[in-house]
């Protein structure tokens, strides 16, 4: 039967049970999409010609456990039974497993929080670096097995092998490993590169109670590390080692190598102040995020976001979206994942490659091995690029051979090792296989997926409820049911299923149900959770309709407002003087980017009486609170978040329109029912998010060398509302030694008393138990010596104003040089952003060579300020248009990012004389596009490297230099270096004025070549 294609349903043989109420009675005269009736699928009918997946697995080597599909064998017994059978337990020299040795499977245990972790993998994979990073965050000891062997034996493994032989060396390695595992079963991170079979057995045993993580890296990086020149041998070595390590580990982590791609170089050139010593920061965040998923919640400090919405799972919120990106696009160096997830709540990686191989008949062992490796890398790349949760969706074709099904299950089991937040499992699989996947999933949520493409039953067919019940009964976390729409009416008939599910008794799992294709857009928009959408920026999301998503997250959001599901709201920033605040520009840019039609306006007033009418407006959507109202506005609130109560200040005001029956404010997902909905306001809720930005900025600025430990010291300058938020942020980061410098000692002591009392309380639950041991010290003057019982600070935050306020001049803050004596430097943050070149920042910029990273208030704003981000993005697209217009031979692209009334000026004036035009002459869009059209007839720009991009957010202006290669059709290349100034509109999304300072010599040559008749003689 192998190699014969059949419909997947008939091969798996379960539709009959789906059509039976409670799995017993039979429903007749119901036609399935394959043309089979329940009678032909009766399990009592002999089906010698019908394929079952369990039969295929029985025939595979090392898969004996599947012959009893209802059993759940111990993982150790399963893996060891598959290993070499003739190993003498007393013989140190044992056979190395072949590359077909099966991956370690079985139920992954719930590890204790203090369970030690083992990192294994090839030399050069980055195990030791990752171990050091994790040890700093988790406060654990690193045990590297190779140095441990050398201390025990007096020789390195290589030296010992040369002197005593391989057999004896392997025997001693196993003894050293066994001893280390026994001595360090808790509170440690162990690192090992050994692969001998005795070692494998010990690792499999350890994996039954501990995380054993296989660290993988791209072949090029490992080859460079090992200085290995033979590519073929290198590939073979990697194949063998990966197979061996997968046989004795329960998790796998892809260590993404930093690559200087063109896009990353361009982005780096636009950063305002690149921080030194932070090259490993992305690696650290990536690995800690992975560990936070495989360990129990709360094991890895400070990895969970503090924003309230982020703590609510996407499947519990209203109208959430999963941006779908093909694995093939994820793996392209030219694709920047973070640019494709705008407006999304989750990233779905779509693996369609298995179906492509099945269709083309190219599913070889090499192809399946490559696909496995690609999935590993794909999840690593996405997790490295975004904080959004990941869904891995492996597409199983409607018809499949036994080999396709075997590979599908292999890939699903492997994906569990990678710990995505969610993954889909095709509901057409037999129950035993879905149950097996659910038993080993660890913290990965399983989406039971059914997408019937050919001849799908109508939504009122009992088939759909059967799929839903199957997903629910087996223990899936979510059911996803999709069919192509054949008419507009399909969008309304889907309510039959939703109503039937809602009427079910007992607990229910969330349901994703909608029609695919353009005719199904209505149901896609009104589907409440995890609608699959396409990114704006990718031309394709999947190669074949009707699988391709037809709407974007932004488009769906706009549709919700245009169909009156949501209401347009009014948002504000309140304060005594908020005219210079970046909040309006930042929020307007974010609102526009996400498709939200809300308004956001600054309101300056002398007292809270000036905002009373605004916060009572039925269309009031919320407000940011500035100085001096952060404390006073508490009197207007009905409830505070724990963070706001702990800090004693509020910076965010949230209207509540729905209360619990007892009059209290809802919690969890119900809290957000008021969002985007107008109506009478029943309560005001106060939140404080200042500390979140401060905490994030400190974490971004600290290098791994300055990771927070018990002796880390922080210095806070000031004692006002922002200083309180800073102290709170430091406590949240685990900084237990805090020095406060303030000119008025009384205010500083008052703040210290507030936090001392806070730490003595047990009811708020906002700080860890370790924070109780925190201590504070007040310094009144810069003349005072640094306290001898505190280490020199590695985190310094200035919380005082940087500009004149009334008659009070701007402070000239500079710290004593002795206070900057940390041998590893640190991070210094100026929270103000109205003045960016302060004496404080200047002082630390001069200390950059000693490891000090200086950051300002713009760094504290999300993504370094949305206003600046918008300008940077528009500028980048503007310069990229010069290359894209040539690549696509579409001149109008040149005006894509400019306002319709944009004016362009050419400098220096001597070029204007050369062109024979007045010096004050400008080109409108039409004229400029005409010039580009003429240029494209002769050649085009192939590159445009941007450097020295400088942005002034207040006046909406940017300056940059570019270096471009103009390649003519006759083969000649002309290098052109220009300087630019660009003026932007209010939200930074369009350019309104361009001044181009041209490379005179190169420009003359280009114009002469394009217009030889007109300028040839002049040249």
Closest CA to 983 of 920, 903, 880: 903
Is residue 829 within 8 A of residue 796, CB to CB? The reply is yes
Residue 529 confidence (pLDDT): 94
Domain 305-562 indexed as CATH 3.40.640.10: no
Can you spell out the DSSP letters for 981-1004?
A: EEEE-TTSSSEEEEEEE--HHHHH
Q: Which residues pair with 973 in a beta bridge?
A: 967
Q: Which two tokens stand for residue 173?
A: 């390695």
DSSP 8-state code for residue 612: H
Q: How far apart are CA 293 and CA 390, in angstroms?
A: 12
Break the chain into its structural domains and give their ranges.
97-283, 305-562, 570-688, 692-864, 866-1015
Q: How far apart are CA 354 and CA 755, in angstroms?
A: 57
Residue 236 confidence (pLDDT): 85
Whether the link from the prior residue into 855 is cis, omega within 30° of 0, is no
pTM: 0.70
Q: 570-688: which CATH number, 3.30.300.30, 3.30.1780.10, 3.40.50.10860, 3.50.50.60?
A: 3.40.50.10860
CB within 8 Å of 78: residues ≥ 6 apart: 65, 105, 106
Parts of the chain with a pLDDT under 70: 1-109, 258-281, 301-310, 334, 537-547, 580, 582, 762-772, 802-810, 833-836, 858-873, 919, 952-955, 986-987, 1015-1019
Q: How far apart are CA 129 and CA 149, in angstroms?
A: 19
Q: Which residues pair with 854 in a beta bridge?
A: 828
What sections of 184-321 are H helices per DSSP? Answer: 197-206, 219-226, 231-246, 262-270, 281-294
Q: Which CATH class is domain 692-864?
A: alpha beta
Q: How far apart are CA 569 and CA 678, in angstroms?
A: 7
Is residue 538 within 8 A of residue 513, CB to CB? The reply is no
**What are φ and ψ of residue 974, in 5° steps?**
-120, 120
Rounded (5°) CA angle 47-49-52: 75
Cβ count near 233 (within 10 Å)? 11
Q: Which CATH class is domain 97-283?
A: alpha beta
Q: How far apart are CA 160 and CA 176, in angstroms?
A: 13
Can you spell out the DSSP letters for 350-394?
A: EE-HHHHHHHHT---HHHHHHHHHHHHHHHHHHHHH-SS-EEEEE
Domain pair 97-283 / 305-562, same fold? no
Residue 621: Cβ-neighbour burial (10 angstroms; 0-12, 13-18, 19+): buried
Q: How far apart are CA 416 and CA 444, in angstroms?
A: 7
Give counts: helices (H), strands (E), the chain: 35, 33
Q: How far apart are CA 600 and CA 572, in angstroms?
A: 5
- What are the respective helix, strand and coil percentages of the chain, to the nearest 5? 40, 20, 40
Is residue 51 within 8 A of residue 402, CB to CB? The reply is yes
CB within 8 Å of 685: residues ≥ 6 apart: 637, 638, 639, 640, 641, 653, 654, 655, 656, 665
Can you spell out the DSSP letters for 89-115?
A: TT-S--PPPPTTPPPP-SPPP---TTB
Is residue 668 within 8 A of residue 631, CB to CB? The reply is no
> Per CATH, which fold does 866-1015 belong to?
Nuclear Transport Factor 2; Chain: A, (3.10.450)
DSSP E strands in 664-768: the ranges are 683-687, 713-717, 737-741
């Amino acid at each position: 039967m192998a190699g014969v294609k059949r419909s997947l349903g008939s091969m798996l043989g379960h539709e009959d049970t789906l059509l039976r109420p409670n799995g017993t009675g039979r429903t007749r005269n119901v036609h399935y999409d394959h043309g089979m009736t329940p009678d032909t699928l009766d399990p009592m009918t002999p089906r010698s010609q019908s394929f079952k997946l369990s039969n295929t697995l029985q025939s595979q080597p090392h898969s004996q456990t599947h012959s009893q599909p209802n059993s759940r064998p111990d993982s150790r017994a399963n893996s060891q039974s598959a290993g070499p059978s003739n190993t003498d337990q007393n013989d140190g020299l044992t056979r190395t497993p072949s590359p077909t040795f099966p991956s370690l499977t079985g139920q992954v245990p719930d590890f204790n929080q203090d369970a030690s972790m083992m990192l294994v993998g090839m030399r050069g994979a980055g195990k030791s670096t990752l171990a050091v990073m994790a040890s700093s965050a988790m406060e654990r000891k690193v045990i590297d097995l190779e140095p441990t062997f050398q201390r025990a034996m007096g020789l390195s493994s290589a030296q010992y092998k040369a002197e005593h032989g391989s057999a004896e060396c392997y025997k001693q390695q196993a003894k050293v490993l066994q001893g280390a595992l026994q001595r360090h079963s808790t509170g440690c991170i162990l690192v090992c590169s050994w692969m001998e079979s005795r070692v494998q057995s010990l690792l499999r045993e350890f994996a039954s109670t501990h995380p054993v993580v296989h660290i993988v890296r791209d072949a090029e990086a490992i080859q460079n590390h090992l200085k290995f020149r033979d590519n073929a041998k290198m590939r073979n070595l990697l194949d063998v080692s990966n197979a061996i390590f997968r046989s004795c580990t329960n998790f796998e982590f892809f260590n993404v190598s930093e690559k200087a791609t063109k896009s990353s170089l361009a982005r780096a050139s636009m950063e305002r102040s690149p921080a030194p010593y932070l090259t490993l920061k992305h690696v650290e965040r990536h690995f800690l995020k992975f560990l936070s998923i495989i360990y129990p919640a709360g094991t890895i400090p400070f990895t969970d976001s503090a924003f309230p919405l982020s703590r609510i799972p996407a499947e519990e919120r209203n109208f959430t979206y999963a941006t779908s990106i093909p694995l093939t696009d994820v793996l392209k160096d030219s694709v920047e994942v973070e640019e494709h997830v705008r407006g999304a709540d989750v990233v779905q990686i779509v693996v369609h490659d298995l179906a492509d191989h099945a269709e083309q008949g190219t599913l070889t062992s090499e192809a399946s091995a490559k696909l496995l490796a690609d999935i590993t890398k794909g999840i690593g790349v996405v997790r490295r690029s975004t904080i959004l949760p990941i869904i891995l969706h492996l597409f199983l074709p409607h018809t499949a051979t036994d080999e396709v099904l075997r590979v599908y299950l292999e890939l699903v089991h492997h994906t569990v090792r990678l710990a995505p937040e969610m993954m889909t499992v095709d509901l057409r699989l037999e129950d035993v296989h879905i149950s097996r996947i659910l038993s080993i999933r660890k913290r990965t949520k399983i989406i039971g997926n059914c997408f019937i493409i050919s001849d799908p039953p109508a939504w009122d067919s009992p088939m759909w409820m059967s799929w839903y019940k199957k997903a629910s009964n087996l223990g899936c976390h979510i059911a996803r049911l999709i069919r192509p729409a054949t008419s507009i009416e399909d969008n309304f008939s889907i309510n039959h299923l939703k109503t039937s599910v809602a009427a079910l008794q007992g607990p229910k799992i969330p349901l994703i149900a909608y029609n695919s294709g353009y005719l199904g857009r209505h149901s896609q928009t009104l589907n409440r959770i995890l609608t699959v959408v396409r990114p704006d920026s990718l031309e394709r999301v999947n190669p074949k309709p009707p699988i391709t998503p037809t709407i974007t997250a932004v488009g769906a959001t706009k549709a919700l407002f245009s169909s009156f599901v949501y209401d347009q709201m009014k948002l504000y920033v309140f304060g005594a003087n908020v005219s210079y605040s970046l909040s309006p520009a930042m929020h307007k840019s974010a609102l526009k980017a996400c498709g939200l039609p809300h308004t956001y306006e600054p309101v300056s007033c002398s007292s809270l009486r000036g905002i009373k009418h605004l916060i009572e407006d039925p269309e009031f959507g919320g407000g940011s609170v500035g100085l001096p109202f952060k404390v006073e506005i508490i009197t207007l609130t009905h409830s505070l978040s724990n963070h706001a109560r702990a800090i004693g200040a509020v910076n965010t005001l949230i209207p509540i329109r729905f209360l619990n029956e007892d009059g209290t404010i809802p919690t969890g997902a119900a809290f957000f029912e008021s969002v985007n909905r107008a109506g009478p306001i029943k309560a005001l809720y106060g939140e404080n998010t200042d500390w979140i930005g401060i905490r994030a900025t400190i974490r971004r600025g600290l290098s791994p060398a300055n990771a927070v430990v018990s002796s880390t010291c922080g210095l806070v300058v000031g004692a006002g509302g922002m200083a309180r938020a800073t102290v709170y942020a430091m406590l949240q980061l685990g900084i237990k030694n805090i020095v406060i410098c303030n000119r008025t000692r009384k205010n500083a002591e008052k703040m210290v008393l507030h936090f001392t009392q806070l730490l003595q309380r047990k009811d708020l639950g906002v700080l860890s138990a370790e924070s109780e041991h925190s201590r504070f010290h007040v310094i009144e003057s810069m003349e005072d010596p640094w306290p001898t019982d505190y280490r020199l600070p590695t985190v310094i935050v200035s919380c005082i104003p940087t500009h004149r306020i009334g008659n009070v001049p701007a402070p000239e803050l500079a710290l004593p040089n002795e206070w900057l004596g940390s041998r590893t430097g640190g991070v210094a943050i100026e929270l103000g952003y109205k003045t960016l070149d302060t004496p404080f920042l200047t002082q630390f910029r001069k200390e950059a060579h000693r490891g000090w990273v200086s950051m300002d208030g713009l760094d504290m704003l999300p993504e370094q300020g949305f206003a600046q981000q918008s300008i940077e993005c528009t500028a980048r697209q503007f310069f990229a248009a010069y290359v894209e217009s040539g690549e696509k031979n579409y001149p109008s692209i040149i005006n894509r990012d400019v306002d319709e009334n944009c004016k362009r000026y050419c400098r220096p004036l001597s070029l204007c004389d050369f062109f024979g035009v007045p010096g004050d002459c400008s080109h409108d869009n039409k004229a400029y596009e005409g010039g580009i059209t003429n240029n494209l007839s002769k050649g085009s720009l192939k590159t445009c490297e941007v450097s020295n991009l400088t942005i002034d957010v207040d006046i909406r202006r940017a300056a940059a230099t570019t270096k471009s290669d103009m390649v003519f059709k006759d083969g000649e290349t002309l290098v052109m270096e220009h300087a630019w100034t660009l003026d932007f509109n209010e939200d930074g999304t369009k350019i309104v004025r361009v001044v181009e300072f041209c490379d005179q010599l190169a420009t003359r040559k280009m114009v002469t070549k394009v217009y030889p008749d007109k300028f040839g003689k002049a040249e």
